[in-house]
């Protein structure tokens, strides 16, 4: 008799415990914004393609940061250099984004009347900088067949080196100071009075 009497309170206590747990679970679900109702039979995951309508999606889209790996170029002495800021390597045309090339046919006249083939000299200067050197380049942008890049040969920024030697003029404000110093020294193309007067070498008329 004693055993039967002690069992009933234990069962009642267990029933109350289960009921209290269910009540707490329901309350927590309501607080979290879960809707009560019948459980859907729709599968959570599917192995079949499903078309998603983006207009009905309320999920936050995470921005994925693109990591652009540097280009490594190894031009040989056979590299094709078109002018003082562009060359072809591995079938691709690369253009230095921060430097404006000198026309390879450009002639520059010094203050003493001496004429120099400054355009051709500038082109050959770029070839010497890149031939048989490893270039580390950043792809800036592309248009048509051209890839505009910023490149370094060892520790030298190619565009900065060209501008500082008077083999090109600055395409961006970053190299404005280097160009001004080259003009002051009358380096490269800056021996020409016309080029110095406008800060670039305009289209040349026959002399």
Specify the CATH number for the domain of residue 124: 2.40.50.90
pLDDT band at 155 (very low <50, low <70, confident <90, very high): confident
pLDDT for the residue 1: 46
Least confident of 21-35, 80-94, 169-183: 21-35
| Residue span of the structural domain in which 124 resides | 71-198
The tokens describing 32, both together, are: 């979290």
Note the pLDDT of residue 143.
Answer: 87
**pLDDT digit string (tens) for 18-59?**
666 666 665 655 555 555 555 556 566 667 776 767 667 665
Domain contains 161: yes
* Selected residue with higher pLDDT from 197 and 9: 197
The domain total for the chain is: 1
* Mean pLDDT score of the chain: 83
For residue 38, tell me if it sits in a domain.
no
Please report whether residue 5 resides in a domain.
Answer: no
21 assigned to some structural domain = no
Mean pLDDT of 56-84: 81
160 in a structural domain = yes
28 is a domain residue: no
| Residue 121 domain flag | yes
**Is residue 168 situated within a structural domain?**
yes
């Amino acid at each position: 008799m004693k055993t039967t009497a002690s069992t009933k309170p234990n069962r009642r206590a267990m029933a109350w415990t289960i009921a209290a747990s269910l009540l707490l679970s329901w309350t927590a679900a309501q607080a979290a914004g879960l809707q009560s109702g019948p459980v859907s039979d729709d599968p959570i995951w599917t192995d079949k393609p499903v078309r998603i309508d983006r207009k009905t999606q309320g999920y936050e889209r995470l921005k994925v940061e693109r990591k652009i790996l540097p280009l490594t170029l190894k031009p040989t002495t056979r590299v094709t250099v078109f002018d003082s800021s562009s060359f072809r390597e591995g079938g691709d045309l690369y253009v230095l984004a921060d430097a404006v090339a000198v026309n390879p046919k450009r002639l520059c006249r010094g203050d003493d009347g001496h004429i120099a083939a400054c355009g051709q000299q500038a082109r050959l200067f770029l070839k010497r900088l890149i031939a048989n050197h490893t270039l580390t380049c950043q792809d800036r942008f592309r248009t048509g067949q051209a890839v505009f890049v910023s490149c370094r040969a060892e520790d030298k920024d190619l565009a900065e080196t060209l501008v500082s030697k008077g083999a090109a003029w600055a395409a961006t404000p970053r190299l404005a100071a280097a160009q001004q110093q080259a003009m002051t020294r009358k380096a490269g193309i800056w021996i020409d009075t016309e080029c110095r007067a406008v800060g670039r070498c305009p289209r040349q008329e026959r002399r």
